Structure 1
Amino acid sequence: MRIAVYGQKFGKNNISYLTQFISYAYSHSIEIYIEKSFFDILSSFEEFKNLNFPVFSHYKELKTKDFSLMLTFGGDGTILSAITLIRDSGIPIIGINTGNLGFLATFNKDVFIKKIDEIFSRKFHLIPRSLLWVKPSANDHQKFFNFALNEIVILRKETVSMITIDAYIDNEFLTSYWADGLIISTPTGSTGYSLSCGGPIISPDNNNFVLTPISPHNLFSRPLIISDHQKVHLKIHSRVKYYSLSMDTRLTSMKKENELYIEKAPFYIYLLQEEKNTYYKTLREKLLWGMDQRN
């Protein structure tokens, strides 16, 4: 078995978990490839100075080798960053939560070590997660990974004035949003930025997206759920030359003349999850769904 390991930062309190995992991999003839930047971070610790693992730094390297899994050490942001390497390879992700909330990173580091045999025996479930794909009307010579697992966000830039976003669904005019911005979210991202702006929670097995305005001026401008088979076309109007386009954790500037075409991506990201850790259980535990603080 060949697995990829990825992370963005690493603390001393996580050293024992990683060393236990490495020992397990050695004893079970599991090949470990570590992402180059993460390898450099690990090498700064005395315990890992003698690490001698092959590294990778590009998604093409993952596609050309037969990887069974990718392990991410961190939180949800680490998983969102990891998909720029996974892309359409179909390699499942195991999120090891070494951070705080860990909504996507479902395995706590203690649980990961206890259940490591079950994980590598593939006794858990693969959960497919849909993505969004965005195409600008003009690339402006920018090259970026234009897919998002959580959400695509259009935001005002360099101004305190609202922007106007004309939205079309399958070429039919929907409305003009007068707001600070607009969120187009997947079911996975519905518990993130969209939720904080009043959007609904959508379970991942639904084939929907949600459009959630950010601080809209019109009181009747509310989130809208649409089928993920529909295509969204956006025209942006602003008093300044640029607006901001966010794709998960990646931010870029776009000229206001640059229209956006958004639709469902032609591939899925797969997350490994315990059967008993259902989406609704995660809502209760992570977001305190239904929790009455008075009791």
Structure 2
Amino acid sequence: MKIALHGLSLKQEFLQDIKALFRALEEKNFEIHVTQPFDRLLRMQGNTGLTYQLIDSNNKMASMDFLISIGGDGTLLDSVCQVGALETPILGLNTGRLGFLATVTTDTIKEAVNHLSSGNFQIEERSLVSLDCDRKLFNGLNFGLNEFTIHKRDTSSMITVHTYVDGKYLNSYWADGLIVATPTGSTGYSLSCGGPLLSPKAKNLVITPVSPHNLNVRPIVVSDDSEICIEIEGRADKYLVSLDSRSTSVSPELRFKIKKETFSAKLVKLPNYDFFDTLRQKLHWGLDMRN
């Protein structure tokens, strides 16, 4: 089987873990390929002695059976962009901090590779959010796993975000911004702004205001079959829009349509993984400092 490795950063302290990953993959006769960003990181470490092939075109990515994302949740979000509509299954190896999406720890590398080799895993499909705009943004990568966000840029003045759902007027949010999050993204920026948590299998999107002027304005959950249209009004000439960790400035005359993408992200989940266990561990539910 062919496997791709992708990463955006590589600390010296994790180099031994990467070598252990290569050894485990080679023992199971995986054909190892790496993306260009991860190849640059390995070269910066000097002579690592690692043997692999370089992925330098989308055609090569199309032949991969799996992709291992090496880093934190931000790297996994970028891995979704590397795969795109190919829907190559992604396994997250956590060398970052939170590890909400990248759930495999460095001390279970060999076990994880054994599960991949034997087929002892499940594929969890995660819905993506898609952006349609009057002009091309994000180099055509108009989808994200977590959320679409519009935010004020460099002024203290709030913005007004006129929002419509399936052509029906929802609200004009006086706020610092607005988030449209997927179920996966409900544990991210939307959560920090007071949005609800959604199960990954929920067929919904969450519309969450960022620091709304009216305190009675609350997040709302809508069907992921909905089309959400957004118009901006404010005093500034430019505003920020983002898809996951990618952001760019836009002018206020642009109009945005957000809906569920036609393809999904396929995440590899190994035995004993449970979303609710992850919630309790990462959010420290049930812990009391008095105990």
| Count, aligned residues | 291
After TM superposition, the structure 1 = structure 2 runs for residues 204-243 of structure 1, keeping only pairs within 5 Å, are: 204-243=200-239
Q: 1:107 is paired with a residue of what secondary structure?
A: coil
Task: Please say if residues 112 and 270 of structure 2, whose CA atoms lie closer than 8 Å, have aligned partners that are also in contact.
Answer: no
CA distance in 2, matches of 1:292, 1:278: 22
Q: Deviations over 1:113-132 (max 9, x none)?
A: 23421222220111100000
Task: Please say if residues 284 and 291 of structure 1, whose CA atoms lie closer than 8 Å, have aligned partners that are also in contact.
Answer: no
CA distance in 1, matches of 2:156, 2:237: 14
CA distance in 2, matches of 1:89, 1:41: 25
CA distance in 1, matches of 2:136, 2:243: 17
* Counterparts in 2 of 1:81 and 1:115: CA distance versus 1, 3 Å: closer
CA distance in 2, matches of 1:140, 1:44: 34
Letter in 2 for 1:158: D
Q: 1:195 is paired with a residue of what secondary structure?
A: helix
Task: Please say if residues 17 and 113 of structure 1, whose CA atoms lie closer than 8 Å, have aligned partners that are also in contact.
Answer: no
* Counterparts in 2 of 1:115 and 1:3: CA distance versus 1, 3 Å: closer
CA distance in 1, matches of 2:222, 2:137: 31
In the alignment, structure 1 residue 195 sits paired with structure 2 residue 194: no
Q: CA deviation at 1:144?
A: 3.5
* Counterparts in 2 of 1:141 and 1:88: CA distance versus 1, 3 Å: closer
**Paired position in structure 1 for 2:107:** 110
Task: Please say if residues 138 and 246 of structure 2, whose CA atoms lie closer than 8 Å, have aligned partners that are also in contact.
Answer: no
**Paired position in structure 2 for 1:14:** 14
Task: Please say if residues 59 and 87 of structure 1, whose CA atoms lie closer than 8 Å, have aligned partners that are also in contact.
Answer: no
Q: Deviations over 1:156-200 (max 9, x none)?
A: 112110100000000000110000000000010101100000000
**Paired position in structure 2 for 1:130:** 127
Task: Please say if residues 10 and 41 of structure 2, whose CA atoms lie closer than 8 Å, have aligned partners that are also in contact.
Answer: yes
Q: CA deviation at 1:46?
A: 3.7
Q: Deviations over 1:10-30 (max 9, x none)?
A: 122212222122123333321
Task: Please say if residues 5 and 32 of structure 1, whose CA atoms lie closer than 8 Å, have aligned partners that are also in contact.
Answer: yes
CA distance in 1, matches of 2:199, 2:92: 19
**Paired position in structure 2 for 1:139:** 135
Q: Deviations over 1:199-243 (max 9, x none)?
A: 000010110010000000011110000000111000111212211
CA distance in 1, matches of 2:5, 2:262: 25
* Counterparts in 2 of 1:9 and 1:294: CA distance versus 1, 3 Å: same
**Paired position in structure 1 for 2:27:** 27
In the alignment, structure 1 residue 77 sits paired with structure 2 residue 79: no
Q: Deviations over 1:262-293 (max 9, x none)?
A: 00000110111124221100001111123223
Structure 2 unaligned blocks of 5 or more: none
CA distance in 1, matches of 2:64, 2:81: 16
After TM superposition, the score normalised by the length of structure 2 is 0.95
Following superposition, which runs of at least 4 residues in structure 1 exceed 3 angstroms of deviation?
A: 57-61
CA distance in 2, matches of 1:17, 1:109: 6
CA distance in 2, matches of 1:132, 1:218: 27
Q: CA deviation at 1:44?
A: 2.1
CA distance in 2, matches of 1:232, 1:60: 33
Q: 1:272 is paired with a residue of what secondary structure?
A: strand
* Counterparts in 2 of 1:140 and 1:119: CA distance versus 1, 3 Å: closer
Report the aligned-residue RMSD. 1.5
Task: Please say if residues 148 and 181 of structure 2, whose CA atoms lie closer than 8 Å, have aligned partners that are also in contact.
Answer: yes
Task: Please say if residues 143 and 243 of structure 2, whose CA atoms lie closer than 8 Å, have aligned partners that are also in contact.
Answer: yes
* Counterparts in 2 of 1:57 and 1:177: CA distance versus 1, 3 Å: farther
Q: Deviations over 1:14-61 (max 9, x none)?
A: 12222122123333321111111211211222451x444221245453
Percentage of matched positions with identical amino acids: 37
Q: 1:252 is paired with a residue of what secondary structure?
A: strand
CA distance in 2, matches of 1:141, 1:149: 16
**Paired position in structure 1 for 2:61:** 62
CA distance in 1, matches of 2:288, 2:94: 26
In structure 2, which of residues 161, 164, 168 is the aligned counterpart of residue 165 of structure 1? 161
After TM superposition, the score normalised by the length of structure 1 is 0.94
Q: CA deviation at 1:140?
A: 5.9
